[in-house]
Structure 1
Amino acid sequence: MSSGKNLEYDDKALEANYPTEAYTYENDDAAALREAEVAQKKGPVFRWLNKAFAMGVEVRGIERVPEDERDGKHTIGLLLLWWSVNMVVSTVPIGLLAQAYYYLSFQSAMAAIVAFTAIGAACTAFIATLGPQTGLRTMVISRYSVGYVGGSIFSILNILTQLGFSATAVILGGQILTNVSNDKLPLEASIVIVGLVALLLCFFGYEAVHQWERYAWILLFVIYCMIFGLAGARGFDINAQKSLQDTGLVYAGDFLSFGGIVFSSSAGWAPIAADFNCRLPANISRTKVFILTWFGLMVPLVFLEGMSAALMTVPDYAAAFAEGDAGGVLAEIFRPWGGGGKFLLVILSFSIICNCTPNTYSCALSIQALLPQFEKVPRALWAVLAFVIYTVAAVAGREHFSEILSNFLAILGYWIAFFIVVVFEEHYIFRRHVIPGGYDLTVYDSFRRLPVGLAGIFACCCGVALAVVSMAQVWYIGPLGAKFGEYGGDLGFEMSAVATAIVYPPLRYLEYKHFKR
């Protein structure tokens, strides 16, 4: 199959890349609106924004991208986008939590970071492969597993996830700006400023996001190398935390709880992974998509989280964390450089643009996926609403950044786990071996022709139930989580995945046999 504006179907190429039992390309044109048709067919609000669309604002929302409007120009973006998205200052606090909250030594922290990041990145990379194959956004793809209603439930969870990511990011960016100004700029104002800049890119959409993320990581990487140098001058002591580390079951609980946070930092991108490559050609190698996405997540996350774990082995930085959270640590690192250090901190504070932009973009798409009526409002306007919501939430929670981050990331892993499991099993079991024709891509927006979703919803509820009895949070420790000591060990995402994986296949088989969809 060729790619570009003059793309034509090549049956042999299609058959070679996609077995006919897994994919249906029949009536493709009927299922995918051309870019120029979207505004005309979606209603008056779209026509009201015609001037904005003419200036480059993306028109398309959750509508399927037709084959002849796809190209491979952002293939390398699969790598660079994730590098920039995670090479941000909001990734730094994750490694700090290992010693501050879970009493792990540097060696244990690194083991958890490498292992759980690898697992989470693989989950996100799998979801990413579905974007080019279907031309659909992630939450729309989920409808083939859990139906329209189940897809709407996932969309609600994803909206909360992306708002949470954005809120924690702008809090940290605001903290840094306020520290740089010696508290002359109120934290509330700093949060709003950082969030506004991030809004501009996601308002324009897919193309603008890719262009920004392609290059943003370069300067940030240089700054983090400077941090390594400054910290090295203070003196790393990788054995500093060993005497504080717990032993036995308590240590296992600490390791699992921190691992759950690390897993969420990489797997947390799974619900939006297909959103940024659905315009790639369908015949692109799935292996290439998987590898580029996996390395795009693995490299920056291990690099930054490992660096921040090392920072906590420097006594001055550990004391700065106790007094001023993650923002205080970064201010202490650059203090010897005076005004030059403050300038670099300002750049770091705005690095969260790389993080908030895809969050807000995908949050807007998830709002569109909730109800058919919401599709009649352009994605760009939903992005503005998302900005307002997470900015208000950030201002409200501005004094409790680390607590919000640790609790949010831990809980996030629970629903991500059952979401990935049902999409994975649907793809590899049912769309390949049970359902004739696999994916019928013409029905992605049809309530009556998509799966009913009862099996998927019930299986996910089982995942929730087992996550509850296995979780370990400050505000609640489940019976299974309590087996690891006073503060418990969080097995929530692991048990959520296991329960869903066991329950979903037999129920989905019965559902398909009864409803034939």
Structure 2
Amino acid sequence: MSEDHPNLSASTTRIITFERRHIRPIPESERHGTTRGLFFVWLGINMLPLTVVTGALGPSLFGLSLGWTILAVVIGNVIGGFGAALHASQGPQLGIPQMLQARGQFGYYGGSFLAIIAVLMFLGFFASNLVVAAQSFAAIFPLLSVNTGIVICAAVALVVAIFGYDLVRKAMGIFSVFIGVLVLASFVILVSNPATFETTIELGYNTAGFFGMLAVGVTWQLAYAPYVSDYSRYMPKEGGAKQAFWATYTGLVLGTVLVMGLGALVGLNLADGDAMAVLGGLLGGFGPFVLFGFGAASAVINSANIYSGVMSSLTALESLSGKIRINTNMRLVMTVVYALIAMFAAVFGKNDFLLVFKDFVFILLYVLIPWSAINLVDYFILRKGHYRVGDMFRRDGGVYGRCDVAGVVSYLVGIVVQIPFMVTTLYTGPLAEPLGFVDLAWVVGFIVPGVLYIAWKRAQGAGPAIDS
């Protein structure tokens, strides 16, 4: 493993900086992140067509009325955003990417296993965003096929991600304002258009649908938990944790609720699964501008999925052999490979997208919840933010070992205990029907592994480590 550079010039903060730190800790002298900048990162990351599609799930798949959909969206995002923001507050303290921190709970190789799971998640979101962005462009330009749109959007995201953190952050900040204006204008047009409410779908309240949509909101926010420290690690250590928490929380929740609310309006008229085409039709002459804006924003903002996916990929790759050097060239190669894999996944998986995406979101929930619980209780309750960061880069894991049995077993138990409660089109657990098909797996999946991990670690006499 290597650092390509001993020192980076702080003066480069005025221009686009080509990232060279990759998964290495960010020195305090190079932490030029601001609360405002971090807020716009997380506000902008949800200004995407995929967020519209997700909001449309309430009426179109769960059969909820507009009011019940919005209520479920708000509650779910408020709950899930709290967890994501707590993860973000770890970045300024440790200065390393989010999933590399998993080595503190799961050991050197155990943390790499969790990083691989995160890689699959980032790939899924990147591919999903490519499909919906391409659909937005295809709705405006009939001669442009969805496949061609996918390739173009992947190329744009790749270019941004190659530069790394600085360009990704600035691009998301710019597009968050641009798309925010379009979203607010779209709200006004849709609400004033009688056709928006002329739905042919029978909608109302059902408990399974309400809690299903609430779980989607929770999942949506927690899906950002593996990203958040990738950006908050650039915040100053002194006072940065509190700033990172509130910037991440407000940005994520406000951006998501706003765009999912727009999606809920679209969902009232969604029958064929192409939410962006429906949105364009309801907006009339303003539709092409909005669809183009969303498509362009998705192509650029989607770079965050490549960037964080590559951070997790490098974390896992490093553990394969001591001869592997994690440097800038390796990051660039992984960025290109990662983008190509996601692009082909989008091309070959674009059919039946809405149904597949719903199951993808719920599977994410099942695998992320136990990791989130273990990470949070370890950081805030057991170690109180004190870790030996240097040990996380040692092949023997240092004080964290090669594989932390307590962490890995607690995580696996957290997945197993969810199985009886799961509700997806692929599998429905035996306890789902007695509970009215209300998906409570995520609640069990958070409590059980968290409690088990705390009890196990305290029995071992674990406590705060000395920072290093």
Contact 2:90-2:229 at 8 Å conserved across structures: yes
Report the counterpart of residue 24 of structure 2 in structure 1: 63
> Unpaired runs of 5+ in structure 1?
1-31, 40-53
Match of 1:480 in 2: 431
Corresponding residue for residue 316 of structure 2 = 370
Alpha-carbon shift at residue 308 of structure 1 (Å) = 1.6
RMSD: 2.6
User: Is the counterpart of residue 439 in structure 1 residue 387 in structure 2?
Assistant: yes
1:346 aligns with 2:346: no
Please show how residues 176-195 of structure 1 align to structure 2 within 5 Å. 176-182=136-142, 184-195=143-154
Q: What is the deviation of 1:206?
A: 0.9
2: distance between equivalents of 1:285 and 1:371?
30
In the alignment, the residues of structure 1 paired with residue 163 and residue 228 of structure 2 have an alpha-carbon distance, to the nearest angstrom, of: 19
Shift of 1:212: 1.1
Q: Does 1:166 align with 2:103?
A: no
What is the CA-CA distance between 1:56 and the residue it aligns to?
A: 4.5
Partners in 1 of 2:137 and 2:96 — Cα distance?
38
1:242-321 alignment to 2 at 5 Å?
244-245=203-204, 251-313=206-268, 318=269, 321=270
Which is greater in Rg? 1
Instruction: Note if 1:360 corresponds to 2:315.
Output: no
CA distance 1:341–1:101, change in 2 (3 Å): closer
Taking structure 2 as the reference length, the TM-score comes to 0.90
Q: Give the alignment partner of residue 92 of structure 1, picking from 47, 52, 61.
A: 52
CA 1:236 to 1:447, structure 2 compared with 1: closer, same or farther past 3 Å? farther
Q: What residue is the counterpart of 1:44 in the other structure?
A: none
The answer to whether residue 84 in structure 2 is matched with residue 124 in structure 1 is: yes
- Matched with 2:450 is 501
SS at the partner of 1:142? helix
Shift of 1:503: 1.1
**CA spacing shift, 1:511–1:353, aligned 2, 3 Å:** farther
Identical counterparts, % of pairs: 25
Q: Tell me the distance in 2 between the aligned counterparts of 1:124 and 1:324.
A: 29
Question: Number of paired residues?
Answer: 450
- 1:36 and 2:11 aligned: no
> Which sits farther off after the overlay, 222-231 or 237-246?
237-246
CA distance 1:450–1:484, change in 2 (3 Å): same
Tell me if the contact between 2:2 and 2:325 (Cα under 8 Å) persists in the aligned partners.
no
In 2, the alpha carbon distance for the partners of 1:456 and 1:462 equals 10
1:96 offset after TM fit, Å? 0.7
The answer to whether the 8 A contact 1:38-1:59 is kept is: no
> How far does the alpha carbon of each residue in 1:386-441 deviate from its partner, in whole angstroms, 9 at most, with x for none?
11011101001112221122111111112221111111111122213xxxx93122
Write out per-residue CA displacement over residues 326-353 of structure 1, whole angstroms, 9 at most, x where no aligned residue.
Answer: 132123124x31xx64244222212113
Q: Can you list the C-alpha shifts for 1:289-310, whole angstroms capped at 9, x where unaligned? A: 2111110011111111112212
Give the aligned residue type for 1:326. Answer: A
Report the Cα offset of residue 121 of structure 1: 0.7
Which residue of structure 1 aligns with residue 410 of structure 2? 459
Q: Which amino acid aligns with 2:292?
A: V
Matched, 1:205 2:154: no
Deviations 1:39-81 (A, max 9, x none): 9xxxxxxxxxxxxxx9953111111112222234x33111000
Residue 178 of structure 1 and its aligned partner are, at CA, apart by: 1.5
**C-alpha separation between the residues in 2 aligned to 1:405 and 1:302?**
19
Distance in 2 separating the partners of 1:189 and 1:366: 28
State the Cα distance separating 1:37 from its structure 2 match. Answer: 3.2
Provide the residue aligned with 1:384 in structure 2: 336
Report if the CA contact (8 A) 1:105-1:241 is conserved. no
1:415 aligns with 2:367: yes
Instruction: In structure 2, list runs of 5 or more residues that go unmatched.
Output: 9-14, 319-323
* Code of the aligned partner of 2:147: E
Matches of 2:325 and 2:373, distance apart in 1: 27
Contact 1:103 1:254 in 2 (8 A): yes
CA contact (8 A) 1:64 1:136 kept: yes
**Shift of the alpha carbon at 1:284?**
2.4
Check conservation: 1:65, 1:135, Cα contact below 8 A: yes
**Counterpart residue number, 2:321:** none
Partner of 1:395: 347
The 10-residue stretch of structure 1 (476-485 or 295-304) with the greater mean CA deviation from structure 2:
476-485
Partner SS for 1:375: coil
Moved more, 188-197 or 505-514: 505-514
Distance 1:354 1:284 in 2: 31
Mapped to 2, the partners of 1:236 and 1:451 lie a distance apart of 59
